[in-house]
Chains A and B, each alone.
Chain A
Amino acid sequence: MVAYIEAKNVNLIFTPPNRMPVTALKDFNISVGEGEFVSIVGPSGCGKSTFLNVLLGLIPPHSGEMAINGKRVSGPGQDRAMVFQEFGLLPWRTVLNNVELGLELKGVATSERRPVSQKFIEMVGLAGFEGHYPHELSGGMKQRVGLARALATDPDVLLMDEPFAALDAQTRDIMQAELLRIWQEAKKTVLFVTHQIEEAVYLSDRVIVMTKRPGRAKKIIDIPLPRPRDYEMRVTQEFNDLKLQLWNELKDELTVHGNG
């Protein structure tokens, strides 16, 4: 497989002012093929969000190489878009204007970006809420705005940080199906962080299990389930075996006392 996204020995230490330094990533290595759907699972605080932020170009690593399509990541780029864990909606903008943010920064004219953002607002089931401000939305609705905002820019690489965590079970199922459809149609490369083992197995080509902090890629598990995947697949023996395998890898990393 030709590596499309490649991380080699990435190290990252946070040095917050007035606090002790924290090593978030230590010798982090992964490689993802073009058009692949890869999930990342790992204990809370192990550095998953941090890794996505480095890949997004928001945080420079202290050492190591991070490259996309052979080009070193040296800052944010419009080939990537992230669905943020804490949503990150601008509170002073309406749903419509939030979804348009990426297009606006790309310099797309208002008349052209309107239909695009409208399409994605409808896709995430928020038609009729275009004029609402974030504080008027529920957690799940905010998360879907974040999803629509990332999708609207039509990025090659989609980074998703627990994008469905705030959704109810039914909406989550619908959004998963939509995501798989878009991924297959538009041939995007997806990096998907989740705490849900079932979700990781259902969506992914491969799942990366991370160690507790400082985070490394501990194990990579292939998910050889056929595509397109459907809902019934989740009750098969094969599916359950994969879940169990993943759980076994993960449970060693989980400690009751967090990860001091």
Chain B
Amino acid sequence: MNDFVYKWRNPIFGSVSVVLFFLGWEALLTWAIPLNPFIMSKPSLIFEGLWLEMQSGQLWSDLLISGQPFIFGFGAAIVVGIFVGTMMGWRARVGYALDPLLTALYASPLVAIAPLVIIFFGVGVSGKAILIFVLCVFPFVFNTYAGVKSVDRLLVNVVRSLGGNERDIYLKVIVPSVLPFIIAGARYAIGRALVGILVGEFFAATAGIGYRIAWFSDMFELSRMFGYILVMMVVAVLFTEGIRWAERAAFPWRVGM
């Protein structure tokens, strides 16, 4: 019993406080303050609205629509980012040449070119996918670059001296050293991709999670808007914590990178 409490202390405290938060919110707007539906909503209404959206299938179709450009943009960012990052780490001169330019671009708020991208490529999948690509490619580039640079020459020599061939060097040294960096990059990139989806859909869209959030707010349907915000939060947490969990499971030796 004691053992159980020790082990689960943090999750228990966390869940309790989340439940208390929702109960407190509900209670406050039920008994203490009269609810003005044009500026606020409460959990019972939010969950009811969300339930209706699920039943009508609207939520799922919005998720699908937002998911498409995400998959294209993110996939392209992975491929291009890993390629460029590997070249930079592999050939020092490529690294020297690209580093300052890409650093400057990475440091700048690239969402600022969103209006141009959308006007140029249209409000469909391609505009959003390109926006997501532009935002996500940098974490992959820089993390792969750092990962390749961090490969321990000593380990390469050790494997070689033990009779390993090029393949062994790749599979036993280089990939295991670089992969954790790339996955950590994916964790940063996910957040940026979600920003890309929202920006794209806030600007111009006819469906999708971001579009729906903006639309509900224009219609003063705050309960539904909060419901969609909640969905967005759950998706974001699932993605980032999922990657974190995978990192811990796959690379226990580099916890906390």
State which of A16-24, A120-128, A129-137 sits at the interface with chain B. Answer: A16-24
Whether the Cβ atoms of A20 and B9 lie closer than 8 Å is no
Which residues of B have CB within 8 Å of A18? 6-7, 9-10
B3 interfacial by beta-carbon distance below 8 Å: yes
**Interface members, chain A 14-49 (any B CB < 8 Å):** 17-21
The smallest beta-carbon distance between B1 and chain A, in angstroms, is 12
Q: What CA separation (Å) do A20 and B7 show in the bound complex?
A: 9
B1-30: CB near A (< 8 Å → 1, else 0) gives 011001101100000000000000000000
The smallest beta-carbon distance between B255 and chain A, in angstroms, is 16
Q: Report the nearest A residue to B6, measured CB to CB.
A: A18
**Interface members, chain B 25-58 (any A CB < 8 Å):** none
Whether the Cβ atoms of B9 and A17 lie closer than 8 Å is yes
Which residues of B have CB within 8 Å of A21? 2
Q: Total contacts A to B, CB within 8 angstroms?
A: 10
Q: What CA separation (Å) do A17 and B9 show in the bound complex?
A: 8
Interface centre among B6, B7, B9 (most CB of A within 10 A): B6
The smallest beta-carbon distance between A60 and chain B, in angstroms, is 21
The smallest beta-carbon distance between B13 and chain A, in angstroms, is 11
Which residues of A have CB within 8 Å of B7? 18
Which residues of B have CB within 8 Å of A20? 3, 6
The smallest beta-carbon distance between B2 and chain A, in angstroms, is 8
Q: Report the nearest B residue to A15, measured CB to CB.
A: B6
Q: Report the nearest A residue to B5, measured CB to CB.
A: A18
**Total residues of chain A contacting the partner, CB 8 A:** 5
Q: What CA separation (Å) do A18 and B12 show in the bound complex?
A: 12
Which residues of A have CB within 8 Å of B9? 17-18
Which residues of B have CB within 8 Å of A19? 6
Q: What CA separation (Å) do A19 and B6 show in the bound complex?
A: 6
Q: Report the nearest A residue to B8, measured CB to CB.
A: A18
Which residues of A have CB within 8 Å of B6? 17-20
Which residues of B have CB within 8 Å of A17? 6, 9
Which residues of A have CB within 8 Å of B3? 20
The smallest beta-carbon distance between A13 and chain B, in angstroms, is 12
Which residues of A have CB within 8 Å of B2? 21
Which residues of A have CB within 8 Å of B10? 18
The smallest beta-carbon distance between A77 and chain B, in angstroms, is 33
Q: What CA separation (Å) do A17 and B13 show in the bound complex?
A: 13
The smallest beta-carbon distance between B129 and chain A, in angstroms, is 44
Q: What CA separation (Å) do A23 and B187 show in the bound complex?
A: 42
Q: What CA separation (Å) do A204 and B55 show in the bound complex?
A: 81
Q: Report the nearest A residue to B10, measured CB to CB.
A: A18
Q: What CA separation (Å) do A146 and B256 show in the bound complex?
A: 31
Q: What CA separation (Å) do A17 and B2 show in the bound complex?
A: 11
The smallest beta-carbon distance between A143 and chain B, in angstroms, is 29
Q: What CA separation (Å) do A91 and B2 show in the bound complex?
A: 38
The smallest beta-carbon distance between A138 and chain B, in angstroms, is 24
Q: Report the nearest B residue to A18, measured CB to CB.
A: B6
Q: What CA separation (Å) do A17 and B11 show in the bound complex?
A: 13
The smallest beta-carbon distance between A14 and chain B, in angstroms, is 12
Q: What CA separation (Å) do A18 and B5 show in the bound complex?
A: 8
Q: What CA separation (Å) do A18 and B8 show in the bound complex?
A: 7
Q: What CA separation (Å) do A29 and B10 show in the bound complex?
A: 37
Q: What CA separation (Å) do A21 and B10 show in the bound complex?
A: 17
The smallest beta-carbon distance between A219 and chain B, in angstroms, is 34
Q: Report the nearest A residue to B7, measured CB to CB.
A: A18
Q: What CA separation (Å) do A166 and B116 show in the bound complex?
A: 65
Q: What CA separation (Å) do A20 and B9 show in the bound complex?
A: 13
Q: What CA separation (Å) do A121 and B3 show in the bound complex?
A: 48
Q: What CA separation (Å) do A18 and B9 show in the bound complex?
A: 7
Q: What CA separation (Å) do A21 and B2 show in the bound complex?
A: 10
**Interface members, chain A 153-168 (any B CB < 8 Å):** none
Q: What CA separation (Å) do A20 and B10 show in the bound complex?
A: 16
Q: List 10 A-B contacts (CB under 8 A).
A: A17-B6, A17-B9, A18-B6, A18-B7, A18-B9, A18-B10, A19-B6, A20-B3, A20-B6, A21-B2
Please name 8 further chain A to chain B contacts, defined as beta carbons within 8 Å, in addition to the given A17-B6, A18-B7, sorted by A numbering.
A17-B9, A18-B6, A18-B9, A18-B10, A19-B6, A20-B3, A20-B6, A21-B2
Shortest 9 CB-CB contacts between residues of A and residues of B: A18-B6, A18-B7, A19-B6, A17-B9, A18-B9, A17-B6, A20-B3, A20-B6, A18-B10
